[in-house]
Structure 1
């Protein structure tokens, strides 16, 4: 990471209330790993240092707004892709136990390699589909928090995420601009699978000014056994939402 990139990381993180002075080196190593692997396996469309810092690292850390991820909690990053927000979270909050889940094996393998290279013993990389794992003993109700970043519409996220949580657990969904129709459908879907929207926090991404929304859904009751539905159905037939 260049000196300019380091300063960009530190200054934008400071806008989120985070002091990354002691962790900038780890982010620099992660950037190098990501650029090298992306050139080989097309993990991400982002290649430039500035874009990776702002759109991967800093954007990932916006889920630390508020106190939703405080404490020694078990976190599932559903649809982690190349490890976001899982890897930045694990670097900044070593007390978290983070499982990075994705259906694409090459992405999960990269997350595992990166975690080992960075010495992140609090990261587990897991390949699989949420529809299947969400029904398995040890996975169903196996996490305190689920985080998602730009994965799907809110009704889909509710169905896929809440089975992983016990009553009292939280889904922390990182979204872009959120329209009222999606929020309404997401609220109805959450209620259907045992949850309730607890917070909706619009904000803008530092420097870029892109619209973001943090949506927090609390698991308030047990998820009916019929959820999640079989693989592919939640995306093709979202609850209370017309798929596009």
Structure 2
């Protein structure tokens, strides 16, 4: 299914609300939309399948990360649990000088993301298949990224353990969450301290056009993460740090 003219206008309007001129990127977003719609017919990549939903709740939702001024051109960024490429790929399209690693543990998803990268000719993005619990213990990856992104469904303590070990001291994690996060963040303060991180800021925003509430949580890496973290695969989710 190709993106309709109405869909392209919707994407342009939503981008404008975020202060972004997406006109030069419409061909790539249109191709991404077509690839995702085609793949969803045989592989369950995303539950959202209507045109407006994909545009607003995947593409534009991903681009709300750019409302945080610290996510600038030229950084090295890892998207942890990228799924079908969100939020990393839409940002990679808009910021071609930023290098993105897109990590996921599900091979059918990384295969799809690799296909999108190749089809769009994105030289600033590459896909990694694996778990962050293992990747973060590889010396070539540990504490090497300037930033991590994640569209989080796990608890904040779990997210922190899966991302902070990958980030350089001074870098940050940008966590996409729903409307209510204050209690969850408060419960994660002990975990953040153990992992070398701290809460920097919470941004409340609304998704363009439809107004759905969103939150961006910024975690700053202020000290090296102790070598025992992250723990073995699955443990951070089953037994979050406190």
Superposition TM-score tier, normalisation by shorter sequence: over 0.9
The separation in 2 between residues aligned to 1:222 and 1:153, in whole angstroms, is 22
Q: Give runs of aligned pairs for residues 157-172 of structure 1, distance below 5 A.
A: 157-172=159-174
Counterpart position of 2:62? 60
Secondary structure at the aligned position of 2:158 is classed as helix
Measured against aligned partners, the alpha-carbon deviations of 1:107-128 in whole angstroms (never above 9, x if no partner) come to 0011011000001011110010
- Matching of residues 17-96 of structure 1 within 5 Å: 17-96=19-98
Aligned counterparts of 1:232 and 1:220: Cα–Cα separation in 2: 25
Tell me how far 1:172 sits from its aligned partner.
Answer: 0.7
Unaligned runs of 5+ in 1: none
C-alpha distance in 2 between matches for 1:156 and 1:203: 23
* 1:133 paired residue number: 135
**In structure 1, what is the Cα distance between the partners aligned to 2:226 and 2:152?**
26
The Cα of 1:220 is off from its aligned counterpart by 0.2
Mapped partners of 2:76, 2:65: distance in 1: 15
Q: How many residues align?
A: 240
Shift of 1:130: 0.8
The residue aligned with 1:222 is: 224
Report the Cα offset of residue 29 of structure 1: 0.6
CA drift at 1:150: 2.7
**What's the offset of the Cα at 1:225?**
0.9
Distance, in Å, in 1 between the alignment partners of 2:17 and 2:155 is 28
Task: Kindly state the Cα deviation for residue 44 of structure 1 after the two structures are TM-superposed.
Answer: 1.1
Is the CA contact 2:92–2:125 (under 8 Å) kept in the aligned structure 1? Answer: yes
Q: State whether structure 2 residue 118 is matched by structure 1 residue 119.
A: no
1:190 is displaced (CA, Å) by 1.3
Q: CA deviation at 1:42?
A: 1.2
Structure 1 stretches of 4+ with a deviation exceeding 3 A read: none
2:168 partner SS: coil
1:53 alignment partner, SS class? helix
Q: Distance in 1 between matches of 2:214 and 2:188?
A: 16
Question: Gaps spanning 5+ residues in structure 2: where?
Answer: none
Q: Given that residues 206 and 213 in structure 2 are in contact (C-alpha distance below 8 angstroms), is that contact kept between their aligned partners in structure 1?
A: yes
TM-score of the aligned structures, taking structure 1 as reference length:
0.96
C-alpha contact 2:181 2:215 (8 A) present in aligned 1: no
With over 3 angstroms needed to count, the CA separation of the structure-2 counterparts of 1:179 and 1:151, relative to structure 1, is closer
- Provide the rounded CA distance (Å) in 2 between the counterparts of 1:230 and 1:122: 30
TM (norm. structure 2) is: 0.97
Distance 1:170 1:178 in 2: 21
Contact 1:185–1:239 (CA under 8 A) maintained in structure 2: no
Q: CA deviation at 1:226?
A: 1.1
Partner residue of 1:15?
Answer: 17
Which residue number in structure 2 is paired with residue 184 of structure 1? 186
